[in-house]
Amino acid sequence: MSDNRTNILNEVALQTDSLTSVLREQNKAIDRIANEIDTASNPDKLFDLFSYDTVFTVFVTLAIFLLGVIVDRLIKLNDTYKSKKDLRIYFHTYLERITNSTCDKLSGFYKNIYQDIDIDTGIPITAPKILTGDFERLKDIGGNVIFHAIKEKRNLSKIHSYLDFVEKLIPEIERFHSHCRIESDKLLNPFQENLNNYFDLLAEFVEFARINQSNYEDYQDFIQLVSNSISIYHQEYSQSRKLRKLYREIIRPIQDKAIDSNLFRQDQRCFGIVVLGKELSYQYNYLKRLTIEFKMGYRRFYNDIRDHKTKLELETKKINWR
C-alpha cells in the first residue's frame, strides 16, 4: 500500500515536472513572439530618426522622379538638337542661294554694264535688278536664334556682316545709277538741242556761201567739208546715237578746219559755228566723263560683289552645318 502510494507520488511528480517544462517552453515561445511583435512594431532606425523601410521608399520615389526628369530633359535636348540642325540647314540653303545665285547674277549684270556701256549706248533708264527674298528669309530667322544654333560664332558673325554689306550695296547702286541717269539727261538734252542748232548753222553757211560764192573762193575745202558733213549726218547719225563718231568725224574736223583757215575771224556765220562747236565739245566731254565715272562705279560694284562672294564661300566652309 505504501509502495503504491510512493509510485503514485513519483508519477505525479514526473508529470508535474513535464508540465512545468511544457509551460516553460510555451512561455519562451510566447516571449519570442512578443519580441518579434515588438521588433516589427519598433524597427531599427537610420540615425535613430527614419526607419529603413521609410528610407528605401523615399529613395525609390526620388529615383523614379529623377529618372523621369532626366528622360524628359533628354527628350527636350534631342528636340532642341533637331530644331537647331533644321535651322542650320535652312540658313545654309538660303546662304548658298545668295552666294551662288544672287551674287553671280548681280556680278554678271554689273560686269556687262561696265564693259558694254559707252557714250553711244548711253546710261540705261534703271539699274539691273534681281527679285529675291532670300535676304529677308535669313533676317526672319533672327540673329540670336541662329547664333545659338551654330558653334562657329565668329565665322557666323562675319557671314552676317558680308550679307549685310551685299544687301545694302544693292540700293546704293540703284541710287548711284539714278543719279548718273539724271545727270546724263541734263547733259544730253542740251547737247541734242545744240546739235540741231549746229547743223542749222552749217546749212545756213553753205547756202550763204553758195549765193556769195565769189567771197568764198579761197575756202572751198571748208565749204565742201561742211556740205559733206551735213549729208553724212542726215544719212548716218540723225536717227541713231553715234556721238563718238559724230564728234570725231564731223564736229572736230569742222572746228579744226575753221580755225586753221582763219575763216571764223572773217565770217560771222563761221564764227557762230565755231562758238557752238566749242560748246558741243564741252558737252560731249562732260558726257564722256560721266559715262566713264558710271562705268568705273559699276566696275567697283562688280569687284565688291565678287570679293564678298569669295569671303562668304570661305566662311561658309568653316562652319559645320550638319
The answer as to whether 52 is a domain residue is no
Residue 53 falls inside a structural domain: no
28 lies in a domain? no
Q: Structure pTM? A: 0.70
Cα dihedral sign, 298-299-300-304: positive
Q: Is residue 51 part of a domain?
A: no
Asked whether residue 77 is domain-assigned, the answer is no
Domain membership flag for residue 22: no
Phi, psi for residue 20 in degrees, rounded to 5: -65, -40
- Contact indicator for 242, 119 with CB cutoff of 8 Å: no
**Using alpha carbons only, what angle is made at residue 290 by residues 284 and 295, rounded to the nearest 5 degrees?**
125
Tell me, yes or no, whether 30 lies in a domain. Answer: no
pLDDT per residue rounded down to tens, the chain (322 residues): 555 556 555 565 566 666 666 566 666 666 666 565 555 555 555 455 556 566 667 777 777 767 766 766 665 555 555 677 888 888 888 888 888 888 999 999 999 998 999 998 889 998 888 777 777 777 776 566 777 778 888 888 898 889 899 989 989 999 999 999 999 999 989 999 999 999 999 999 999 988 888 888 888 899 999 999 999 888 887 677 788 989 999 999 999 999 998 888 889 999 999 999 999 999 999 999 999 999 999 999 999 999 999 999 999 898 888 7
For residue 248, what is its C-alpha cell?
570725231
- Look at residue 2 and tell me if it is in a domain: no
* Distance in angstroms between the alpha carbons of the first and the last residue of the chain: 116
Find the domain containing 307 and state its range. Answer: 86-226+233-322
How far is the C-alpha of 123 from the C-alpha of 288, rounded, in Å? 11
Letter for the amino acid at 39? T
Number of domains in the chain: 1
